[in-house]
Amino acid sequence: MLFGLFFLAMSLNTDSPPPSPSEPPALNITHAQEAQQSDALQIASLLAGQFAAWNAKDIDGYMQVFWRSPLLVYVTEGSVWTGWDQVKATVERQYPEKNNMGHAVLERLQTNIVSPETATTIEWWTVYFPAAKVHGFSTSTWRKFPEGWRVIETHTSTLEVP
């Protein structure tokens, strides 16, 4: 159900006669909605790649979704890091032993295409470590650059579960 909210937001076609009770209403999918769906799929693909990179213990791959800029903002558990280089250095410092990165599972994704150049996402996830599991969610702001969608700001909250 990655794109349930997007599909629920599509407008019903009011130019056609009302559907019979046994058939679903027709959807009027405009070019703009098709573009939004394409953008949402691109972002979902980037996030799937990010989770795959994390699980492969590939920090460089994990970092690919982030805007490679000194203006990147990364907030987690009361700490704020700015800049792609600082974020990458922090992640590398937190996981000097890559086998301690755990296994991350994206459980749910909500994407809101705000404009052709801006989107927001909420990602619900769990990371399984040998001694614990951590549930969390991240809210991210995305911007579309010539090289594609990139996270320009993200905030993560977590809860360790025994």
How far apart, in whole angstroms, are the C-alpha atoms of residue 25 and residue 135?
A: 38
Say which range, 3-12, 21-30, 98-107, 146-155, has the weakest mean pLDDT. 3-12
pLDDT tops 70 at residue 129: yes
Q: How far apart are the C-alpha atoms of 155 and 141, rounded to whole Å? A: 9
pLDDT of residue 25: 53
Using the 8-state DSSP alphabet, how is residue 100 labeled?
G
pTM: 0.79
Return the closest-CA partner of residue 5 out of 31, 26, 45, 36: 36
Residue 106, pLDDT > 60, answer yes
User: Which residues touch 26 (CB under 8 Å, ≥6 apart)?
Assistant: 12, 13, 16, 19
Q: What angle do CA 137, 138, 142 make, to 5 degrees?
A: 155
How confident is the model over 127-154, as a mean pLDDT? 96
Question: What distance in Å separates the CA atoms of residue 11 and residue 110, rounded to the nearest whole number?
Answer: 19
Q: Residue 86: give its domain's CATH number.
A: 3.10.450.50
Can you give the pLDDT at residue 45? 97
10 against 118, higher pLDDT: 118
pLDDT at 111 over 70: yes
Residue 96 scores a pLDDT above 70: yes
Provide the pLDDT for residue 24: 55
d(CA 118, CA 43): 11
- Give the confidence band of 6 by pLDDT, cuts at 50, 70, 90: very low
Q: Does the pLDDT value for residue 138 go beyond 70?
A: yes
Average pLDDT over residues 111-120: 96
Average pLDDT over residues 28-47: 86
Domain range for residue 131? 4-161
111 bridge partner residues: 121
Q: How many domains does the chain have?
A: 1
